[in-house]
Amino acid sequence: MTPTLGFYDVVNRRRDTRAEFTGEPVAPEVLERILLAAHAAPSVGMSQPWDFVLVRSPQTLRMFRDHVHCERARFGATLAGERAQTFERIKIEGICESGLGIVVGYDPTRGGPEILGRHAIPDAGLYSVVCAIQNLWLAATAEGLGVGWVSFYREDFLQELVAMPARVRPVAWLCVGPVGELPNIPDLERHGWRRRSPLASVLHEEHYGAR
């Protein structure tokens, strides 16, 4: 298998993982490799504005899971009919089962007052953090691990839970761990929530709307 094929295999096998965690711990050397991949991400003005908080305390995992379940109910209450029924079947997190949460934060003060490339687009720092998350996710996939990005939470709750200072914004809770398998079909498609679109539907030539 060529390196190029290997790379695309990783891209296409990556899944948002919820139900498949085995609960086994991630080997320390594997965890270091996926964190190093995250830390090798591009960042605006080389500010590397990310932080990673590794959470394994069962008590903290349970507290976060309980909060996420409240937010799940809150979203569920806004749905009706088929949408409500379909959502009911979908598992949205594997927080306790994975045994490891990686909370990713964005520190806009990292790199000093003059960030090269951020003066016109303040969110460019936030974009850097997400590049690190995607590197981590792909690296975990290459290592045979599952990753589930949980976004059913309030930022102030998570910030307080892991004692992030006010300047650091929580960007993600990632459930990370060994999995029995990675499904071929994304959960949301399998459960009939939504189907993937063809590439052509988001491509434009020279100007938006021109195909």
Map the footprint of its own copies across residues 4-63, applying CB under 8 A. 4-12, 14, 16, 32-33, 35-37, 39-42, 44-48, 50-57, 60
- Please state the closest distance from residue 101 (CB atom) to its own copies, in A: 10
Shortest separation between residue 22's beta carbon and its own copies, angstroms:
20
Contact in structure between 16 and 91 (CB atoms under 8 Å): no
Alpha helices (H) along 25-116:
28-39, 58-76, 81-88, 95-98
Nearest distance, CB of residue 78 and its own copies, angstroms:
7
Range 77-96, binding its own copies (CB under 8 A): 78-79, 83, 87, 90, 92
Query: Quick one: 96 or 130, whose CB is closer to its own copies?
Result: 130
Q: Would you state the structure tokens that stand for residue 189, as one six-digit string?
A: 């498609």
Contacts of 20 (CB under 8 A, 6+ apart): 94, 146, 179, 180, 181, 182, 183
Whichever of 62 and 119 has its CB closer to its own copies, that residue is 119
DSSP 3-state of 37: helix
Strands (DSSP E) contained in 78-160 are 101-106, 145-150
Of 180 and 195, nearer to its own copies (C-beta) is 195
- 88-147: contacts with its own copies (CB under 8 A): 90, 92, 105, 111, 114, 116-121, 123-124, 126-127, 130-131, 133-135, 137-139, 142-143
- Give the span between the Cα atoms of 50 and 41, in whole angstroms: 10
Smallest distance, its own copies to C-beta of residue 181, A: 17
CA distance 56 to 20: 18
Cβ distance to its own copies smaller for residue 11 or 23: 11
Which positions from 172 through 201 interact with its own copies, judged by CB under 8 A? 172, 186, 188-189, 193-197, 199
Which of 139, 140, 148, 149 lies closest to 171 in space, CA to CA?
149
Q: How many C-beta atoms lie closer than 10 Å to residue 135's C-beta?
A: 19
Give the range of 21-29, 166-174, 175-183 binding its own copies by CB under 8 A: 166-174
